[in-house]
Amino acid sequence: MKVNGNDYRTVWMEGSTVCFIEQNLLPFEFRIYRSDNYLETSKAIKSMKIRGAGAIGAAAGFAMAQAFAEAPENELQEFVYRAKQSIYTTRPTARNLYYAVDRVFNKALNSIDPQREALKEAHKIAEEDALSSLRIGKFGEELIQDKSRILTHCNAGWLAFVDHGTALSPVYNAFHHGKDVFVYVDETKPRGQGAKLTAWELQQVGIPYKIIPDNAAAHLMSLGQIDFVIVGADRIAVNGDVANKIGTLSRAIAAREYNIPFYVAAPLSTFDIDCIQGSDIIIEERPQEEVLFTSGITINGKLTSVLSSAPGSSAYNPAFDITPAKFITAIITDKGIIQPDESAIRDITRQ
């Protein structure tokens, strides 16, 4: 992805240092964050300095590789096992995180050169993530007609993956191939990933868009102003139920009411074949301060956080909800477009 004319990925590794775009500062400031050890990388994932399913996975894989590099030779197994458990706890809903950590851990632990194998596998996961997103874009573009008005929720663009993204990848493809597309961007409270990140991404590319209040999506559907809904996923159960950013469920229910196609875009690494149904997925609850306070820049350009609710209030802040398979038109994967049911999911994940 280009930013100010330069090519960037969301996350990468230089030597033993994990580098990534500091997403908590966007869209007001573009900065590269550098993390020198697995604990620092884990904190960055938990604090959402880096966020999004694929980006979390790649960063977690790199964190696991850092742990192998840091482990004392005489207690390597114990050290990396503790590190694995620590990385697991950073974002418990995210399937890609577990997928990446397990792959690096299992590949490296019993190898002749654990440090080398861990690093090699982590890089491989990141490359696969970028390629998977590219393929999702090609498959998903087939669904987008010229002059489509598309609704997104949260951010599942290139910032949420190593490159290209999932929900936005088909939109980018359609735009670059000359299709006239327009994107309605849910603001996505409480953190505003739509208003801040998706809008910023679309600006970089030049795709026309409008930010809308979260509560306006169903209204626009009722007016016939939305043709197509596409969202990402953080974990997909084997029955087709999808965990995604809080608010996804209400978009899916409204889309069904108004006969609007509702698509989920995700690589195979997001599918959890050991998870039977959505109710088995752990829903991460984040700090109430994310609801009670709002971040932004002052008139003087200073990034700050202000209390935006009644003083003394408490808040409930689930980060995700579960959209049942019955509300999903299809799932766009890196191996093709499938129905959200157990048979299709088991078939494609066996490939």
DSSP letters spanning 32-59? EEEE-SHHHHHHHHHTTSS-SHHHHHHH
Cβ–Cβ under 8 Å, residues 117 and 76: no
> Which DSSP helix (H) or strand (E) runs through 320?
strand 320-323
Residues designated catalytic? 234
CA distances from 207 to 86, 268, 349 (A): 40, 28, 33
In whole angstroms, give the CA distance from residue 177 to residue 172.
9
Q: State how beta strands 293-297 and 303-307 pair.
A: antiparallel
Cβ–Cβ under 8 Å, residues 333 and 268: yes
Supply 340's token pair.
Answer: 């959200």
245 Cβ partners below 8 Å, 6+ apart?
153, 154, 188, 193, 231, 232, 234, 319, 320, 321
CA distances from 292 to 154, 187, 191, 223, 285 (A): 19, 16, 11, 32, 14
Supply 268's token pair.
Answer: 């195979």
In whole angstroms, give the CA distance from residue 197 to residue 217.
18
